[in-house]
């Protein structure tokens, strides 16, 4: 009941701004981006776990994809006695999970590219310097109606590139635990 009263109160206020509704297509694309981002975080966690567990056995490798491949080759080699059988089984399961995550992320990338190719606005945004298909599709999916922004500064404030109230002090925007319009961490 209190929610309904608050909504009625908000509608009567002259300075109240409303968020345009996203289309199901936009909501689906946002879900695609967010799920991809979740899988990337999980991939990083699995890689860090593999590295940490093998470091306990004194086995380290260079940072990067090549280093992870080296570690997984050690895990796959049953003649390498530096890793116990129990540890090898656990690490092999992590390696399998890592492969599955990578395949799923690549599938999400293909789906995002297909969505990008089918959307005219996304194709136009692709050519902005510093942009690309990922940024273009994320923007198209996030912004229901670009006319909502009266200026480029309003848009910049919305994505937390600038302080919405203006610069203070040193000329740099200060954000503690800043979040974008979607609640995503920006620091």
Q: How confident is the model at residue 163 (pLDDT cuts 50, 70, 90)?
A: low
Percentage with pLDDT > 70 across the chain: 84
Q: What 8-state DSSP symbol labels residue 165?
A: T
Span 94-112, pLDDT tens digits: 999 999 999 999 999 999 9
Higher pLDDT, 108 or 158: 108
Buried b / exposed e across 69-84, counting CB within 10 Å, b at 16+? ebbbebbeeeeeeebe
Q: Tell me if residue 179 falls in helix, strand or coil.
A: strand
The mean of the pLDDT values for the chain is 86
Decide which of 9 and 140 is more confident.
140
Do you know the residue count of the chain?
187
d(CA 139, CA 146): 10
Count of C-beta atoms within a 10 Å radius of residue 179: 12
DSSP state of 151: S
Four-point Cα dihedral 119, 125, 131, 134, nearest 10:
-20
Mean of the pLDDT values across residues 61-73? 94
Query: In this predicted model, what pLDDT tens digit does every residue of 35-65 receive, in sequence order?
Result: 999 999 999 999 999 999 999 999 999 998 8
pLDDT at 20 (0 to 100):
74
């Amino acid at each position: 009941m209190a929610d309904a009263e608050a909504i009625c109160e908000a509608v009567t206020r002259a300075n109240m701004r409303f968020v345009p509704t996203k289309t199901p297509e936009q909501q689906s694309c946002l879900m695609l981006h967010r799920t991809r981002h979740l899988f990337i975080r999980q991939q990083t966690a699995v890689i860090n776990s593999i590295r940490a567990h093998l470091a306990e056995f004194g086995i380290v490798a260079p940072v990067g994809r090549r280093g992870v491949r080296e570690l997984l080759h050690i895990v796959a080699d049953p003649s390498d006695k530096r890793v116990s059988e129990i540890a090898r089984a656990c690490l092999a399961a992590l390696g399998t999970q890592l492969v599955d995550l990578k395949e799923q992320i690549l599938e999400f990338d293909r789906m995002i590219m297909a969505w990008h190719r089918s959307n005219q606005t996304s194709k136009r945004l692709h050519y902005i310097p510093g942009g690309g298909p990922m940024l273009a599709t994320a923007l198209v999916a996030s912004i229901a109606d670009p006319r909502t922004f009266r200026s480029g500064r309003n848009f910049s404030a919305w994505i937390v590139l600038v302080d919405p109230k203006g610069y203070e002090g040193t000329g740099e925007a200060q954000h503690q635990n800043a979040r974008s319009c979607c609640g995503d961490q920006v620091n």
